[in-house]
Amino acid sequence: MGDEKAKQDSAIFDSTGGGSDSDITPAFLTPAEPEGDNDGDQSSRKIGKGSVGGDETAAESSSVAPTERSSAASEAHSHLTGDGPPNPPSTPPATVDIEGAVADAAAETVLPMRGSKKRGPQRAVSPAAAVPQPGQRMRLHHHEDVTSPRWYAHKKHFFILSSAGKPIYTRYGDESKLSSFMGVVQAVVSFFAEEEDGIRSIHTPTHTFVFLFRWPLYFLCVSSTPESPAQLRDQLRTYHTQILSVITNAQLQRIFSQRASYDIRHLLSGTEIFLDNLPKSFHTTANYLLNAVPTLRMNPQLRAQLASIMASTSTIAPRPKALMYALLVANGKLVTLVRPRDHSLHPADLHLLLNMLSSSPAFRHGKVESWTPVCLPRFNPKAFLHAYFGSVGAEEDSDDDATGPGPSRPQTPPSYTTSWSEGSSMVLVLLGTEREAFWDMRDYRIRVSEDFATSGCLKGLEEAVRNDGIVKIPGNPHLLHFFYKSRTAVQYTEMHPTGPLAYRPSPNSLNPLGTPTLLSNRPPIELASAGDLVSVEPHNRSSDSVPSLLPIKPPHPLPLYPPVLLLYTHLSSVLSQQAGSRLARLSTDTVTVAAMVTQREEVYVCVGPWCEGNEIDKVVRGVVKWGREKVGEIVVGNAPVF
Amino acid sequence: MTSRTSNVSSSSRGRDEPARPAPTSVAPAPPGKPFQVKLVLLGEAAVGKSSLVLRFVNNEYQDNKEPTIGAAFLTQKCRLDDKVVKFEIWDTAGQERFHSLAPMYYRNAQAAVVVYDVTKAPSLDRAKSWVKELHRQANPNIVIALVGNKLDLVVSSGVPRAVDAEEARVYAEEMGLLWFETSAKTGEGVSEVFTEIAKKIPFDLLTPRGRPNAITGAAGANGGQNSVAAGADGRVDLGIAGGAQAQSGCAC
């Protein structure tokens, strides 16, 4: 056992265990290649991800080339119409997708708007906030289970169980009270697994059930949001990645090959905060939607200067030998990254780190430094790296300062707030191979932080943080928000939501996160059609739909008004399903969103409802033009390597 | 100064430095030369270790604080009589899976705060087993404080007390520990813990400004990749190591 461990540890240093060596233009990111699973549909969301790895030509012919591949696969299509799902809230006829049979997109993808008609008897409104018992994990709705109507009313459930049917995680409620539910899930999955054909999704008019099997774990999402099965499956993969960061795949395999009924919950305990935070990341950032890395926009010279300070071989506190990656992150966005020449960092691993940062305020607290093992599954699924998190720009606690205060006195207020949107924390994330390297990492962080300050870079960085998301594009008065993604760099930037988007509607008047009712208010849903446009049937309006998004009162500014992100999500899935389409748009009472995919970029914009037709196109093209002009400020380019 | 790593070999190095014998209780420490005290917090998950530290270091409190991941490092300077004491605090995660990493943090610590929850009887048992482990494996001169936290729950929230104060006090006395009851929420008793610890630290054995206490071992000093060998005792392998430890008391 000891030997085995030593071997695994040493695998950290095995260069073959590292990420891809392929060099692409923005050299630090591994291209977001499709996962090595055989789902067949892995590419359906990531529009044009194929363009990253170098087969530009393939992507050129069609911006949604991956989908074409999938439709080829769908010739082996076996489309089951069967009984309702075992345990859904309502059981109308359902469709079941079987692995290897890819949905004929238009016909089968349950158009999410149908979900808006749900009026299940159990549907309840604005569930009460969880009141965790002291000392317990802050669970969402921990008192709920399969007998509570409210439990069924949540828009999106995530479940994780072992292949033996043991509950591991639930987003809502207490997983240990869901054993019978998990048992049913396990039975369903196993049933199909025996047919040598895994179950992939179940569609009901109101809900989509999406399954992911990664031995020894089963993942299930039950959703009534307008996200496509492919998008939901990507989210399940993110859950899988998150688990692997805590328990390496090698450990999992070993545990479950020895004892199939093992309960791994205590190995995960404490890290549920990362899992709990994922849905928030899905709905408040475009990290997963765009499958790209958010960057902080800044002057490229400044970025280069920051990077060179980080890469510098200063004699005062040299770069620790154990250091693999040094990331500077501000406002949840990447500023720069210094890495070894032959090890790029996969966006999925980077997303993992960003999710960790966003999950735990301690990682961003100006007075706290953290040191923890973490496995980056794309870098090396077998071993842990050691991660250091420490702030830069915070007041340094100098030893020479003799005016030591007494033990209890008021201090400066904490430098973090509960969310990135309010804080402007700048964090250095250092990943290394030695678990004892904390002091080296700390010295390095202090040195870098001081050099930032003395060189004046810190001021520039702080200014970039202050200006984060503030964009003026001349001649686009209607623009409320946009994402601009450089597909070659796999990075994106955004404009802060403005106008009505900047506010959360009053909680009792409107749909909480994730509701599709937004889509249901204005028939027909307009999607530009023909040629490079997409058209989609308007769905039936539901008479009981919740009206208008216009803000009642603006109590809480949000980083991004979540339903708009869902609208983008929907556009993205429409685009990925329609071969050859490059532009789509969709209107509601209050906003119009549009998406455009070109060879070089992906753009999502949101404009006010008064903006129509050609004007929208003009806005989109304006953003594209802006992005191309500013690409130097957006993209974290060739940061120094060592 | 080139590299503070050289300090890893630590306490011995501190003593070897003849220049600053620091007979502290007599002569005032020169300004700007704080005595560094490495302190580690141990205890079951969710007893309030991080909350205690944050109350001490930043005078802040947060309900439903998220669990600590790995370990958190904080520093706080205090004035004690004529000395400046700089606490270097390792706030460890209480989860079982991190148990195998704990020795890295208490090794060479001059002080340990072992925390339990006055409303949870099993948390005292866990605290006792930490005390046992410290006595067995930590620095023999380590100053240990046993702290019953969440006193506010008993005092004002009507949660029944599960750990009798007298029982804990007697135990602490038998084992030679300092003993306190605190509330990180109200701040009650928190600074006393650290002040009393500081008073008990044998400063005449310490040198100001050294780093007598890295989380370290031989490995760090060598740098380089050979330190993998140290992985055998200092394994990175979190979960399973913990799970396999029979004495770990986990109910898996």
**C-alpha–C-alpha distance, residues A160 and B20, integer Å:** 58
**B237 or A183, which is more confident?**
A183
Which of B159, B222, B240 would you mutate first to test chain A, the one with the most A CBs within 10 A? B240
* Beta-carbon count within 10 A of A617 CB: 14
Alpha-carbon distance B189 to nearest alpha carbon in chain A (angstroms): 11
Alpha-carbon distance A360 to nearest alpha carbon in chain B (angstroms): 7
pLDDT for res A191 = 82
pLDDT band at A337 (very low <50, low <70, confident <90, very high): very high
Q: Do A405 and B97 touch (CB under 8 A)?
A: no
Q: What percent of chain A has pLDDT over 70?
A: 63
Q: Do A367 and B58 touch (CB under 8 A)?
A: yes
* Facing A372 at nearest CB: one of B71, B84, B159: B71
Peptide bond just before A167 cis, omega within 30 deg: no
Which of B33, B63, B69, B124 would you mutate first to test chain A, the one with the most A CBs within 10 A? B69
Q: Which residues of B touch A131 (CB under 8 A)?
A: none
pLDDT for res A578 = 77
CATH assignment at residue B112? 3.40.50.300
Domain annotation covers residue B248: no
Q: Do A443 and B228 touch (CB under 8 A)?
A: no
Fold designation for A293-395+421-467: Beta-Lactamase (3.30.450)
**C-alpha–C-alpha distance, residues B206 and A626, integer Å:** 61
pLDDT band at A358 (very low <50, low <70, confident <90, very high): very high
pLDDT of residue A106 exceeding 70 = no
Q: Report, as an integer, the average pLDDT of A131-150.
A: 66
pLDDT band at B203 (very low <50, low <70, confident <90, very high): confident
Listed range (A35-39, A437-441, A442-446, A554-558) with the worst mean pLDDT? A554-558
**A498 or A93, which is more confident?**
A498
Q: Which residues of A touch B58 (CB under 8 A)?
A: 367, 411, 414
Domain annotation covers residue B102: yes
Closest residue by Cα to residue A162 from A181, A180, A182: A182
Q: Which CATH number fits domain A479-499+559-634: 3.40.50, 1.10.3470, 3.30.450, 1.10.287?
A: 3.30.450
Alpha-carbon distance B177 to nearest alpha carbon in chain A (angstroms): 21
* Beta-carbon count within 10 A of A92 CB: 9
Q: What is Dmax (Cα atoms) for chain A?
A: 76
Q: Do A370 and B119 touch (CB under 8 A)?
A: no
Spatial neighbors of A169 by CB under 8 A, at least 6 apart, are A158, A159, A160, A175, A239, A265, A268, A272, A275
pLDDT for res A503 = 62
Q: Do B215 and A262 touch (CB under 8 A)?
A: no
Q: Do B216 and A318 touch (CB under 8 A)?
A: no
**B25 or A329, which is more confident?**
A329
* Facing B67 at nearest CB: one of A270, A373, A399: A270
Give the bridge partners for A641, in sequence order.
A339
Alpha-carbon distance B173 to nearest alpha carbon in chain A (angstroms): 25
* Facing B72 at nearest CB: one of A368, A405, A433: A368
Which residue intervals of chain B are DSSP H helices?
Answer: 10-16, 49-58, 102-106, 121-137, 151-156, 165-175, 190-200, 218-222, 238-244
Range of the domain at B39: 35-209
**C-alpha–C-alpha distance, residues A364 and A393, integer Å:** 12
Per-range mean pLDDT, top range of A129-143, A409-423, A530-544 = A129-143
Q: Do A436 and B187 touch (CB under 8 A)?
A: no
Q: Name the segment(s) of chain A with CATH classification 3.30.450.70.
A: 151-282
pLDDT of residue A642 exceeding 80 = no
Closest residue by Cα to residue A435 from A345, A267, A320: A320
pLDDT tens digits for range B224-236: 333 333 333 333 3
pLDDT band at B96 (very low <50, low <70, confident <90, very high): confident
pLDDT tens digits for range A41-97: 333 333 233 332 333 333 333 333 333 333 333 333 333 323 333 333 333 444 455
B122 to chain A, any CB pair closer than 8 A? The answer is no
Size of interface A-B (CB pairs under 8 A): 228
Q: What percent of chain B has pLDDT over 90?
A: 63
Buried b vs exposed e over A433-465: b needs ≥16 C-beta within 10 Å?
bbbbbbbbbbbbbbbbbbbbeeeebbebbeebb
Q: Do B73 and A368 touch (CB under 8 A)?
A: yes
pLDDT of residue A556 exceeding 80 = no
Domain annotation covers residue B188: yes
pLDDT tens digits for range A233-276: 999 999 999 999 999 999 999 999 999 999 999 899 999 999 99
Structure tokens at A283: 């709905």
Structure tokens at A174: 């207490």
Report in angstroms the alpha-carbon separations of A207 from A87, A221, A519, B33: 11, 10, 16, 65
Domain annotation covers residue B215: no
DSSP state of A537: P
Geometric angle at alpha carbon A163, from A159 and A169, rounded to 5°: 25
**C-alpha–C-alpha distance, residues A241 and A239, integer Å:** 5
pLDDT of residue A485 exceeding 60 = yes
pLDDT of residue B33 exceeding 90 = no
Backbone dihedral region for residue A102 (phi beyond 0: left; psi -120 to 50: alpha; all else: beta): beta
* Facing A9 at nearest CB: one of B5, B97, B228: B228
A-proximal residues of B, 6-35, CB under 8 Å? 7-8, 31-34
Average pLDDT, chain A: 71
Q: Do B220 and A439 touch (CB under 8 A)?
A: yes
Question: What residue in A sits closest to B50 (Cα-Cα)?
Answer: A362
Q: How many domains, chain B? A: 1
Alpha-carbon distance A150 to nearest alpha carbon in chain B (angstroms): 23
pLDDT of residue B47 exceeding 60 = yes
**C-alpha–C-alpha distance, residues A405 and A397, integer Å:** 12
Alpha-carbon distance A161 to nearest alpha carbon in chain B (angstroms): 16
Domain annotation covers residue B12: no
Q: What percent of chain A has pLDDT over 90?
A: 44
Per-range mean pLDDT, top range of A9-18, B214-223, B229-238 = B214-223
Q: Report, as an integer, the average pLDDT of B121-132.
A: 97
Domain annotation covers residue B83: yes
Domain A151-282 is of which CATH architecture?
2-Layer Sandwich (3.30)
pLDDT band at A29 (very low <50, low <70, confident <90, very high): low
Q: Could you give the 3-state DSSP secondary structure of residue B43?
A: strand
pLDDT band at B157 (very low <50, low <70, confident <90, very high): very high
